[in-house]
Structure 1
Amino acid sequence: MKPAQTRLRTGVLDLLATGGPHSRAELARKLGVSRSTMSLAIATLMADNVIKETDGNNDGSKSAGRPGTRLALCEPKGYYVGIDFGRIFIKAAISDANYRVLEQTEGDFDIDMPAEAALDLATVKVEQIIAAAGVDRSQIRAVGIGVPGPVDAASGELHAGSILAGWVGTDVTGGLSRRLGLPVYMDNDANLGMLAESVFGAARQANVALYVLLSVGVGLGIAINGKVFRGATGIAGELGHVVIDEHGDVCRCGSRGCLEAKISVNALSRALSISHGNISSNEMLRLAVKGDVGANRIVADAGALVGRSVGALCSYFNPEVVIVGGDLMRAGDSLLNPLKDAMRRFSIARATENVRVIPAGLGEQAELMGTLLFAGERARTAATASEIFGTSPQ
């Protein structure tokens, strides 16, 4: 099978797995191919008993050639595991093949934790949820990991300059795969949040969407026509390392005056400590929600700085929706209103006049759901490669 046919096959399976039944015309349109090309791919997948026709729905939609029928996966089976190495926590979940979460757990996580210790912790969490769910381990198809840092598109490992500086050079996916005896895949957490919002959340109907993740770090996910855009090497979306003050504090990435160094929740809590004494990021956010003047001021200033950069992005990408997620979003309108105002001041008027700026539809579950969806995507890609080339997944 040619590479283009492989990509088309995988694309069809991804759409049906995450979006449910589709007509032939819908699949052709979303994947950008002719109906005749799609018909050939569908015929092959049906012959392989991978997909099937289902009864039409009642919304009046029609599919080309066969009115009243749609295409769906043949009884999806198996399970996926997801691990979100959040910026202040770790979450793990196991889902069925339709991404219904069966079990979930979480705990504290320090981004300065050594990689090997973090992988040991993740292994314990995963073993707990597998046991609690009572699933057959042999039916787990893949594990997805989300990390707060850029992931190399070719190697699947962390780029230098990551907030997880001590992890760079560590075989994260291989190390966890050996511990669990399962295939493991990794991506940036903001990309995964964007993936989940595109499938299940606030970006389901958007052609172009931005997902801004504000926490201990600052991340950005970009989706175009429902697909996450990662750039040539996986660096796309490093909003946190846009320089906003060349004389500012040194950032973890080694540069000076990065947005992340200025408005991370830890940086904001340090700024508030001048008037409030030693204070945690959680307490800082709680005070902002209660209307504390100092807390609201630093959150509003952070929103304005983010809005300035996002406004520029709107001029570049012309999105329909900007979704804001992460811990800082707990501050609500104290953050969003200044962000919206700054967006409009620092962009072409037409680029932002119709843009919706909204909280993440999945809330603080977005990144975790994204790890499960990513595991499913990579498992299907690996299975297709195995069928074609006789290779085994990871």
Structure 2
Amino acid sequence: MNSVRAVEGDRWVVVGLDNGGNANNATVLDSAGDFLVDGLLESPSRVKEGPVVAVQALAEAFDNVLDQTGVPRAAVRSVGLDTPGPASATGVISAKGSTNFVDPAWRGFDVRGALEERLGLPVVYNNDGNAAALYAHHVHFGLAGNSRSSVSAIVGTGLGGGVIEAGRIVSGAAGMAGELGHVHIPMQGLLGDGQALPSCNCGFEGDAESVASLTGIERNLLPYWLARHPEHPLAAEPSLATAAKLVRGLGEAGDPLARTIFEQQATAIGRLFTIAANFTDPDAYFVGGGVVQAGAEFGQWFLDQVVRHTSLRDEQRQVATFALVPDLDMAGARGAALAARQSVPRGTT
């Protein structure tokens, strides 16, 4: 059950807003580094109604979290916002649109700037994968986070992620850094006999998201495996979309076909991390998303498969760690708040 704590004394705060396809989640982080909301504090995001309505919904989520925590508006120094990507480093949604944002008015919309104007406060923008990656990094490393690096892969409808260096998000010149799902990975040995090169919604073939995502299961993996095993119960489902959503539960239960699908996904992430090892050589690799929010045994099994398929040099394996993203439902809002806190000048009162 969600609980909140009031800000103590005259501490300043930042607010984190995680904007999703169905809900906004909000949190408050005070100047001492304490989160004042222990769980989800959600409200409808209304993104399908277009940006004007959605920005108003974000403003309402902001007001609500201040009411719930008893924080005066004057104590807020900055607001962190995350949304699904792709978007620019300054929070302008891609001209081709963005995940969950189906209204054409979202294309090229400056969501960060619109919220900043609506609230009258500085707004720091990141995509949702980057925000979750930042939270995972700081939970794992604590006070040492500012001297460590990490790479995160977040498996959902697509494959998000983030690269953290010296405790800060690497966003890139155009804001597109950390789009790990669209990195091409080797497919030899990953695909089954006669399995077609998987395609991604972005137009690429053979990228990590084409395998390691719910979309990848529906579009590429499940059709192949059901064609080889037409007697499987999933073959009787009315649509591939319905069947794909059932794969995780079957994987938890140990179903061989489902486990084969998830091993392909884990292999894809392992190969992605192998590329990261030779590119950034991070201190830690994090895996998050619905696939690891399942039962503890299945989440650990999946992480073990990722580790097994990540090729590190002996020197790297001695110092690198692998872990699951914690508190994933809250990771976006909390990561957004951490990014906002980093933007507040030292010595602020």
Which residue of the other structure, out of 333, 340, 344, is the alignment partner of 1:368?
333
Q: Cα distance 1:171–1:234, how it changes in 2: closer, same or farther (>3 A)?
A: closer
For residues 1-394 of structure 1, the aligned pairs below 5 Å read 77-86=11-20, 89-103=23-37, 104-106=40-42, 114-153=50-89, 155-160=90-95, 163-164=98-99, 167-202=106-141, 205=144, 207-244=148-185, 247-251=197-201, 253-268=202-217, 271-272=221-222, 275-276=233-234, 277=237, 278=239, 279=242, 283-331=246-294, 332-344=299-311, 347-348=312-313, 350-352=315-317, 354-380=319-345
* Local SS of the residue matching 1:200: helix
1:243/1:76 Cα in 2 relative to 1: closer, same or farther (>3 Å)? farther
Provide the C-alpha distance between the structure 2 equivalents of 1:360 and 1:336, rounded to a whole number of angstroms: 11
Unaligned runs of 5+ in 2: 1-8, 188-195, 227-232
Secondary structure (helix, strand or coil) at the match of 2:16 reads strand
1:238, 1:200 → 2: CA distance?
A: 22
Matching residue's letter, 2:158 = G
Specify every segment of 5 or more residues in structure 1 that has no aligned partner in the other structure, as ranges: 1-74, 385-394
- Displacement after TM superposition at 1:95 (Å): 3.3
Distance 1:282 1:371 in 2: 28
The answer to whether the Cα contact below 8 Å between 1:173 and 1:186 also exists between their aligned partners in 2 is yes
Distance 2:200 2:163 in 1: 27
Determine helix, strand or coil for the equivalent of 1:201.
helix
Once the two structures are superposed, residues 117-158 of structure 1 have per-residue CA deviations (whole angstroms, 9 ceiling, x without a partner) of: 4323323322322222232223222211112224433x4433
Contact (CA 8 Å) 1:93, 1:102: kept in 2 or not?
A: yes
Shift of 1:314: 0.8
1:286-343: CA deviation from partner (whole Å, max 9, x where unpaired): 3322323333222221111111111121122222211112222224034212211211
> Quick check: 302-311 or 332-341, which moved more?
332-341
Cα distance in 2 for residues equivalent to 1:240 and 1:87 = 19
Q: How many residues are matched?
A: 306
* Partner Cα distance (2:142, 2:179) in 1: 20
Structure 2 residue matching 1:102: 3-state secondary structure: coil
- Partner Cα distance (1:118, 1:287) in 2: 36
Query: 3-state DSSP class of the match of 2:336?
Result: helix
State how far apart, in whole Å, the 2-side matches of 1:335 and 1:249 are: 23
Query: What's the TM-score once normalised by structure 1's chain length?
Result: 0.66
Q: Would the aligned equivalents of 1:87 and 1:216 in 2 still touch at CA under 8 Å?
A: no
Aligned CA distance change for structure 1 residues 169 and 267 (closer, same or farther; 3 Å): same
Distance 1:280 1:130 in 2: 41
Q: Percent identity?
A: 26
Which stretch has the larger CA shift, 309-318 or 177-186?
177-186
Partner deviation per Cα, 1:354-382 (whole Å, 9 max, x = no partner): 4321112444432221111112222438x
Residue matched to 2:229: none
Following the alignment from structure 1 to structure 2, what is the Cα–Cα distance between the partners of residues 249 and 108?
Answer: 32
- Contact 1:89–1:107 under 8 Å retained in 2: yes
Q: SS in structure 2 opposite 1:100?
A: coil
* Secondary structure in structure 2 of the residue aligned to 1:81: strand
**Alignment deviations for residues 214-267 of structure 1 (CA, whole Å, 9 cap, x no partner):** 22222232222323323333222211111347953242x343443223321243
Instruction: Tell me the amino acid that sits aligned with residue 374 of structure 1.
Output: A
Distance 2:184 2:279 in 1: 17
Higher RCO structure (Cα 8 Å, ≥6 apart): 2
My pick for the range that moved more, 198-207 or 296-305, is: 198-207
The normalised TM-score by structure 2 is 0.74
